[in-house]
A and B are shown apart, each in its own frame.
Chain A
Amino acid sequence: MATDSSLQGNAAARWQSIRRGQRRRPLEWLAERGIFLVSLSAILLILLIFIFVAREALPVALGRMTSAHASDVIAPEDMEKIPPAQLQRYLGLSTKEFAAMDAETRRELMKVKVEAREERPDDPDADLNTTRWRHLLLPHRWSGYEKPEYIWQPVSPIPKYNLVPLIIGSLKATLVALLFSVPLALGAAIYVSQLAPPRVKEYLKPGIELLAGIPSVVLGFFALIVMASVMQTVLGYASRLNALLAGVALGLAIIPVVFSIAEDALTSVPRTFTQAALALGSSRWQCAWKIVLPAALPGVFAAVILGFGRAIGETMIVLMASGNASIVSWSLLDSTRTMTATIAAELAETVFGGHHYRILFLVGALLFIVTFLANLAGDVIVHRLKGKLEGKTS
């Protein structure tokens, strides 16, 4: 990208460092301080997002929650016999809550515990705390199953919260999306930035960027109503909604992302490179493929990473087109369930502050971390590439 010579560069940071008017006008000084403070909002918001998503997930992440059904109960008549500290722990109350209760309320709570004991499902797994990390990530041989399995089944007598099916689902859809969109977007980026006649280029670039203007819920709708039937007729698979369909629809959503960043990187390769190649007799394709693309390769890589981040975080398309069955399968033709779609579909029905609620926030925190790292990597790569290419021109 061309840079404005007087706004960029070390020697020319003059305008930004001018402080005229501050000394004699305290109000202007105050206003400029205000501008500075407001500009911190982006940093503050990123921190707030992480803190508040992680905060709801924290009790599960630290292993402070349990989904186990009560196994040993203390009869309400024995209340006076046990020490208060033990009673407080048994009832799962904070010290403040415990102190605020009278003996009668405590006795009622103990009766509730006994009743819960009677409703305990007749299942050997009822004692398991399924919110532990071991059960979130490793397979377990549940009663009634023949071998250890990964199961996401949050609404059942024994809630099962294994995240592996969701992670596999997300990766499957994202992989298909990248395989579908990267070749197309990269081809288009090479064509638009290097090969197209300048006059055509003026129209092609905004045209492709228009694809970004289609809301994801509309792409999801299109995949569900139109593409699903067409692809099933053409390819003849069994499950109408599957990872392949969701991935292709997802690919449509990330084409403009990959295209814009790759095109920007290719365009930022200095003109001297291409001029030299052309002067030596190369064709424009040879110049684009052997000179410009290798020089801009980190930028193309960044485009793929940022496309990955966008695809794995996309919600409505996969919610509508993937079929939402949480099964462990690497087949693209099976119905699949992603992390984002799980949050969108299940959060509204969870008990506020319950383990299901908190585990969905944990999934959200994982998504945040993954996309944060992808964005950070993409950002750093693009920045370095720009610095390198601009350094070479001067």
Chain B
Amino acid sequence: MLTARDQMPWDFRRTALDLDSKFFTGLTALATFLILAILGVILGNIVWHGAEGLSWRFIISGTERDMFDVNKAGVLPMIVGTSARVILMTIFVLPVGVITAIYLTEYAHPLSVFTRVIRGAVNNLAGVPSIVFGLFGLGFFVNFIGGGLDRVLYAAEAEPHWGRPALLWASLTLAVMTLPVVIVATEESLRAIAPGLREASLALGATKLQTVVKVVLPQALPGILTGAILAVSRAAGEVAPILFTGAAYYMATLPKSLADQFMDLGYHVFILSTQSPDIEKTRPILYATVLVLLVLTFALNIVAVLIRARIRRQMRHHQ
């Protein structure tokens, strides 16, 4: 498929040998391939060393005996904890993100100041440091909402029930953090839908809401899926926001309710790399844990990038 850009006289050649141009073009190409090489080295190193320590037993066993014991430690509780918080987060973030994106593309006047403010807030939310999300989760969800629930529901008890770090609060904090990811991805896919489709639906007598819900949204499903996947892959690897809102250093059992704390893959990578009694000895389980985390986040990311590339191609067709 040739686009208009390919047919432009890009191959215009100067008659004299232009060394400067060749040199600098080479330099920028070098920068590009250097970045890709670094990416390759990081991934290669982790896969190479991680595969050695990885075993079926490692994935399905817990840490009942000793989390630093190479032969007995496993990552099942961390996989469960990370999956649980990510699934909960998706349930919270998806409706809000998709509805906001629908408003921005289908209802908001594209040039109004108000739309600019919403977009600015979304962009800003994407740039808030992850540790600040952690502080916000602690101050708002744990202390304010959780503490408030305790005062209302469990006024007689001295022990905090909701006013402490928990799975629910960690998921909500991550949902706030990944909201922009879902909004931006959904918006992009809504924009890629041919405007004629909307007009055709209106011409057949559908109302606007019917058009949006029954014609536009189903078309945007791959994009919404991309947004969800990107949000999951971003959230699965984040550690800073859950440090104070739910992640536990060690737990003997799996989390049973929303009010429980949980063990987490990313946090466990941090613990194994910084608090291990003997870093040389625990290196195999450290690498294996990193590999498991990377498979979770990276595999999802590749899927999202592929879907996104398809949507972008689709969008170019409409112009």
Contact = CB atoms under 8 A, between A and B. Distances in A.
Interface of A: 2, 4-10, 13, 15-22, 25, 28, 31-32, 34-36, 38-43, 45-46, 48-49, 52-53, 55-56, 183-188, 190-192, 195-196, 198, 202, 204, 206-211, 213-222, 224-226, 252, 255, 259, 271, 275, 278-279, 281, 283-286, 289, 306, 309-310, 312-316, 319-320, 340, 343-344, 347-348, 360-361, 364, 367-368, 371-372, 374-376, 378-379, 383
Interface stretch (B58-66, B68-76, B119-127, B254-262): B119-127
Contacts of B12: 278-279, 281, 284
B281 interface: no
Interface stretch (B83-91, B135-143, B149-157): B135-143
Contacts of B208: 18-22, 28, 32
A184 B30 CA distance: 9
A170 to B, nearest CB: 11
Ranked 5 nearest A-B pairs via Cβ: A215-B237, A21-B207, A313-B129, A187-B31, A213-B301
A213 B118 contact: no
A358 B70 CA distance: 40
B240 A185 contact: no
Given A187-B27, A207-B39, A220 B270 contact: yes
A209 B126 CA distance: 16
SS class, residues of chain B in contact with chain A: helix
Contact of A39 (B108, B279, B286): B108
B69 to A, nearest CB: 19
B24 A289 contact: yes
Contacts, number: 324
A226 B123 CA distance: 34
A18 B12 CA distance: 48
B122 A42 contact: yes
Nearest to B192: A4
B221 interface: no
B210 interface: yes
B130 interface: yes
Contacts of A35: 99, 102-103, 107
Interface of B: 3, 5-6, 8-10, 12, 14, 18, 20-22, 24-25, 27-32, 34-36, 38-39, 42, 45-46, 95-96, 99-100, 102-111, 116-118, 120-136, 138-140, 143-144, 176, 179-180, 183, 191, 195, 198-199, 202, 206-210, 233, 236-240, 243-244, 266-267, 269-270, 273-274, 279, 283, 286, 290, 293-294, 297-298, 301-302, 305, 309, 315-316, 318-319
Nearest to B236: A215
9 contacts: A15-B195, A56-B135, A184-B35, A185-B31, A187-B28, A191-B25, A224-B274, A313-B127, A379-B123
Contacts of A18: 202, 208
Given A56-B135, A221-B269, A361-B135, 20 more contacts: A2-B319, A5-B319, A6-B195, A9-B111, A35-B99, A46-B128, A48-B136, A49-B140, A188-B28, A196-B32, A202-B309, A218-B294, A222-B42, A252-B42, A284-B12, A285-B24, A319-B270, A344-B240, A348-B244, A375-B127
Contacts of A374: 127
SS class, residues of chain A in contact with chain B: helix
